[in-house]
Amino acid sequence: MASALYLMFYYFGSAAGGFYLLYWWGRGNWPAVVAAAVAALLLIPGLLYALRRRNLPSDLDSSRQHC
């Protein structure tokens, strides 16, 4: 099962990455591809962090629930 999941994410990632990076290859070859890949690697965790912080209740909200 683990190898099936690995292969699924491997091929999905390469297909999505290839689709995304093909545009940048046409715009500037390797320098553009590397810049776009680094941008994606920095942007995705930042977006996930922001979404997680947005969905967490604040300390004020949690203190109101305990009263």
pLDDT tops 80 at residue 67: no
Within 1-67, where are the H helices? Answer: 2-55, 59-65
pTM listed for this prediction:
0.59
pLDDT in tens, 1-58: 899 999 999 999 889 888 989 999 999 999 999 999 999 999 999 999 999 988 877 6
Tokens of 32: 């553009």
What integer pLDDT is reported at residue 4 of this predicted model? 93
Tokens of 8: 């699924």
Kindly list the domain boundaries of the chain, sorted by start residue. 2-65
Tokens of 56: 């967490």
> Of residues 67 and 6, which shows the higher confidence score?
6
What integer pLDDT is reported at residue 62 of this predicted model? 57
